[in-house]
Amino acid sequence: MPKDALPQVALAGRSNVGKSSLINALTRRRIARTSAAPGKTRLANVYRVELEGADGPGRLALYLVDLPGYGYARGGAESANELRAVAEAYLGGPHAPYVLLLIDSRHPGLDADIQAAKWLESRGIGAHIVATKIDKLTRSERARNLDAIGNTFGTAALPVSATSGEGLDELWRMIARIARDAGRVE
Ligand code: GTP
Ligand code: MG
């Protein structure tokens, strides 16, 4: 894990919600491994990112952290517990993480996601809600599901798609804001 004081923004969420795909879409690179089968990411993968002119002048450096997902059933409870332990060990670590909690826009209000939000809150970790795979919804589903996610988590969700690119500029701005608020501008 990085030992310096740069802000760390972690992507958390259920297995298959699109964490690794979103890192690739944001960076326009294939740096994170993705898979149609859940349980692909098995470690906390840390990427150092530099933003030029994001949300203000100057260069902003930060870490994006791709975490294993929760709720992965294949491979049994042992495998699911192991992945969860990696994510929890990272989030419980010595640095102050800022979390993007990714929610599949097709499935608002899943118990596993509500539990994850509670877990983060109980540890004093603030989470920003991001609704993934928004390209898969019709216009009416979109309005309804974003409403439902907002109601469930008590804050508006940012809709994004790694496939169509929707919401990525807004997400970068959100990440830049989080990093700047962390007060460590290079
Ligand atoms: P784990 O590593 O298992 O926790 O999963 P993950 O959250 O990293 O998901 P990943 O990025 O590997 O994506 C899972 C599947 O969803 C892949 O088949 C992706 O192609 C697909 N996917 C991810 N983002 C999007 C999106 O915005 N739109 C669509 N249509 N599919 C997506
Ligand atoms: Mg992954």
pLDDT at 97 (0 to 100): 85
33 Cα nearest atom in ligand 1:
12
pLDDT at 184 (0 to 100): 47
pTM of the model: 0.95
CB 130 within 8 A of CB 166: no
C-beta 129 within 6 A of ligand 1: no
36 Cα nearest atom in ligand 1:
18
Ligand 1 centroid to residue 15 C-alpha, Å = 8
C-beta 105 within 6 A of ligand 1: no
Which residues of the chain fall below pLDDT 50?
Answer: 184-186
What domains can be seen in the chain, in order of their start residue?
A: 8-181 (3.40.50.300)
Nearest protein CA to atom 2 of ligand 1, as residue:
41
C-beta 136 within 6 A of ligand 1: yes
CB 7 within 8 A of CB 182: yes
Helices (H), the chain: 19-27, 76-91, 111-122, 139-153, 168-181
Strand partners, 80: none
pLDDT at 75 (0 to 100): 72
Q: How many residues does the chain have?
A: 186
pLDDT at 54 (0 to 100): 67
C-beta 69 within 6 A of ligand 1: yes
List phi, psi (to 5°) of 89.
-65, -40
Ligand 1 centroid to residue 164 C-alpha, Å = 13
